[in-house]
Amino acid sequence: MTFFTHPRPSHLRVVLASAIALVVLFIGIGGEKAQAHGAGTEIFRQVDGPFVIAVRILPLQPLVGKLHITVTVDLLETGEPVEDARIRITGRHQQGSATAQFSPGLNVPTDRSFYDANFDLDDAGIWDFEIEVESDEGEGSVVTPISIARRVRGDSLGIPGTMMFILVSVALFGGAGWITYTARKKQRIRRERAGRA
């Protein structure tokens, strides 16, 4: 006994068009892109040693979880970016309740003026991030506090999360409904054939 019928070409076109429309809608409403390497909002800029050190973060209002830090280092005298620096970023919770975290600031060959680091923070509160810079021009270090907010259970999934929830729900209920419909249709056809015989 099979419950599935062969789909007609018109059904396939409708399903394919619906899927494409949902993907376009999902991508179009996707919100802010998660960019790195120079993106983010500058929260700190200070001179130390021969450098001007600037810090950017993503997201702007960080919550417990992922935090992306981008550091730029410019020479104080010329304003030119330092592309061969060794950057060490250490995050420490001000209350001392969490383990200190370390990440090197890494850049890529396509744009060596941005140094990126990622942190996965489990504790809310004020974190002090120390950025240590070493290069042939000298050394410098700065400390910037970043407030990490606690996630609230009622936080919204945002538009992409809501769209994905709706898409999965429609797929599950639509699939169950289609199977029920085709099974009942087959039973009705069998009863009609049995009644004619």
| 86-97 tens-digit pLDDT | 999 999 998 877
Query: Sign of torsion, CA 29 32 37 39?
Result: positive
Percent of the chain past pLDDT 90, that is, above it, reads 44
Q: Residue 3 domain-assigned? A: no
pLDDT at 68: 93
Distance CA 29, CA 97 (A): 39
Contact 96, 48 (CB under 8 A): no
The CATH number of whichever domain residue 80 belongs to comes to 2.60.40.3340
DSSP 149: B
Q: Are residues 71 and 139 in the same domain?
A: yes
Q: Are residues 23 and 45 in the same domain?
A: no
End position of a domain, from candidates 108, 131, 148: 148
Residues 6+ apart with CB under 8 A from 115: 70, 71, 72, 73, 85, 87, 105, 106, 107
Q: Which two tokens stand for residue 119?
A: 């942190």
Q: Are residues 46 and 115 in the same domain?
A: yes
| 138-193 tens-digit pLDDT | 999 999 999 999 877 655 567 777 888 888 898 899 888 899 999 999 999 988 88
Q: What angle do helix axes 158-196 and 9-28 make, rounded to 10 degrees?
A: 170
Q: Are residues 109 and 182 in the same domain?
A: no
Q: Are residues 45 and 137 in the same domain?
A: yes
What pTM value is reported for the model? 0.60
Q: Residue 36 domain-assigned? A: no
How many domains does one find in the chain? 2
Q: Are residues 75 and 59 in the same domain?
A: yes
Q: Are residues 71 and 161 in the same domain?
A: no
Boundaries of domain holding 91: 41-148
Q: Are residues 105 and 162 in the same domain?
A: no
The helix or strand, by DSSP H or E, that contains position 54, with its residue range, turns out to be strand 51-58
Residues 6+ apart with CB under 8 A from 194: none
